[in-house]
Amino acid sequence: MAATLTKPKLTTALPAPLRKKWAAWSRTGQDSFALVMEARKGLPAATAFEVADAFQLQASQLEAIYELSTKTLRSYTQENRNLNASSSEKTLKIIALYETGIEVFGDAAAFLRWLSKPAHGLDGEVPLRLLETSGGIDLVEEELTRIAYGDLA
């Protein structure tokens, strides 16, 4: 599937569904232990589609991040199932990354453009492709921190 899942309105804040969830989980972005504990509970599968909307992900990108087909994710959503701990952890980290990206770039559109282009500080890797692993998300977060502090190398 090459079509974008949906085209959200870009704002300078988290999209409404993620903003509500992040408010409830805000402590997890600052505290690794709290993030892991929240991830172990499992997040609703529908959150994966909210992340896809916010990041304007293609179906194939969503599938790569969650290692599940969009069909399976839709089934989980309809059945009100939760993501497993690993996928929930990625989701929480990705939500935190979105918030950081907007803080660094000033708006969602600029952040999303940066995510889709090779980054010098990531050895020419496209940051969006690194979101497939928890460690990759950490690398992108570290690069955003370097950019925020003016270290573009």
The predicted structure's pLDDT at residue 1 = 35
Mean pLDDT, the chain, integer: 84
Q: Enter the tokens of residue 34.
A: 């709290």
Residue 48 lies in a domain: yes
Residue 3 lies in a domain: no
As to burial, measured by CB atoms within 10 angstroms (0-12 exposed, 13-18 middle, 19+ buried), residue 152 is exposed
User: Is pLDDT larger for residue 67 or for residue 8?
Assistant: 67
Mean pLDDT on 72-82: 96
* Cα–Cα distance, 129 to 112 (Å, whole number): 12
The predicted structure's pLDDT at residue 10 = 33
* Cα–Cα distance, 142 to 153 (Å, whole number): 12
Residue 136 lies in a domain: yes
Contact in structure between 20 and 30 (CB atoms under 8 Å):
no
Q: Does residue 130 register a pLDDT over 90?
A: yes
24 — pLDDT class (breaks 50, 70, 90): low
Helices within the chain (DSSP H only): 16-30, 32-41, 46-55, 59-66, 70-78, 85-105, 108-115, 134-148
Contact in structure between 56 and 8 (CB atoms under 8 Å):
yes
- 3-state class (DSSP) for residue 130: helix
Q: Does residue 6 register a pLDDT over 80?
A: no
Residue 128 lies in a domain: yes
The predicted structure's pLDDT at residue 78 = 97
Contact in structure between 93 and 141 (CB atoms under 8 Å):
yes
119: left (phi over 0), alpha (psi -120 to 50) or beta: beta
Residue 57 lies in a domain: yes
Q: Does residue 43 register a pLDDT over 50?
A: yes
Residue 30 lies in a domain: yes
The predicted structure's pLDDT at residue 23 = 58
Q: Does residue 48 register a pLDDT over 80?
A: yes
The predicted structure's pLDDT at residue 44 = 92
Total tally of structural domains belonging to the chain? 1
Q: Does residue 112 register a pLDDT over 60?
A: yes
The predicted structure's pLDDT at residue 76 = 97
Residue 153 lies in a domain: no
Residue 100 lies in a domain: yes
- The range of the structural domain enclosing residue 43 comes to 16-148
Largest CA distance in the chain: 46
Mean pLDDT on 12-20: 57
